[in-house]
Amino acid sequence: MAAFNEMLRVRLHELLNSQGGALLQDPRRLEALLRDLSDGSSLSDLHLLMQGLKSGIPAQIVEDVTRGLPTSAILPRLVLRLEEAHIAAKAAQWCVNSWCLALGYELPEPEQPANKRKTPVDDRYPIHPQPLPSECSWTDPLLGMAFVWVPAGTFLLGDLFDEGGEDEQPVHEVTLDGFWLGKYPVTQGQWQQVMGHNPAYFQKGADYPVEQVSWEPGGVGLCRADRRWQTAAHPRQRPPL
């Protein structure tokens, strides 16, 4: 990013701050003003900003922020839009970031390396303590089902790309507790052992995946029944968390 003219994005912000967003409706005037304020050595960067304007980058940023989306969800999508228009990745990112700052919005914090990343936590929801690496998997001693631990975290739920239905709005944050997830599909034999019947249409053996079941009440019922069964049969043989 050091190769780009950072002063040009400062001038862009000053112009929009002093003359208002109406300046975006007059690209030629905006380009002329920026050209007058630049030292003549950043024409390629100026053309890049104007290409971002023609691609609707500033308008999309304003629209998405008004809808309540965070810049961390908005900017990567707009960078991709410019890349698809054959703009180099670093140039596209600089252009989008420049328009974000010029419009008065903050850039998202840089993503931390995986070994330093903190799991977002919402204090309103109690979470289980995170398991040690040796505890990230667990095998049901009765069924032989293998589970892996999915840590707690926060994510954006909804239509981030404005391509879905009304039931996918508004985009909002969701925080989940950590939970155990089956590593493999539930087999017909496992389902039979816990639920007492086999609903599968293709009954070719106990090791085949069970089908003809739904999440509610099928999947939820299996989890509840397995929990009761585990507690009654071996009350001490429970997952580590």
Average pLDDT, the chain: 78
The predicted pLDDT at position 11 comes to 86
CB contact at 8 A, 210 and 186:
yes
138 and 51, same structural domain?
no
Residue 147 lies in a domain: yes
87 and 146, same structural domain?
no
Mean predicted confidence (pLDDT) in 193-197: 80
SS3 147: strand
Q: Pick from 32, 34, 81, 83: which is nearest to 61 by CA?
A: 81
Mean predicted confidence (pLDDT) in 198-206: 90
* pLDDT tens-place string over residues 119-147: 444 443 333 444 444 567 878 777 788 88
Mean predicted confidence (pLDDT) in 177-202: 86
Choosing from 82, 102, 122, the residue where a domain stops is 102
The predicted pLDDT at position 100 comes to 92
| Structure token digits, residue 158 | 């909804």
The predicted pLDDT at position 172 comes to 83
For the chain, the domain total comes to 2
Contacting residues for 107 by C-beta, under 8 A, at least 6 apart = 71, 75, 97, 100, 101
Mean predicted confidence (pLDDT) in 70-90: 88
CB contact at 8 A, 170 and 135:
no
The predicted model scores a pTM of 0.48
64 and 150, same structural domain?
no
Q: The domain containing residue 199 runs over which residues? A: 133-233
172 and 220, same structural domain?
yes
State the Cα angle at 214 between 213 and 217, rounded to 5°.
Answer: 105
Residue 17 lies in a domain: yes
Residue 108 lies in a domain: no
88 and 26, same structural domain?
yes
Mean predicted confidence (pLDDT) in 192-212: 87
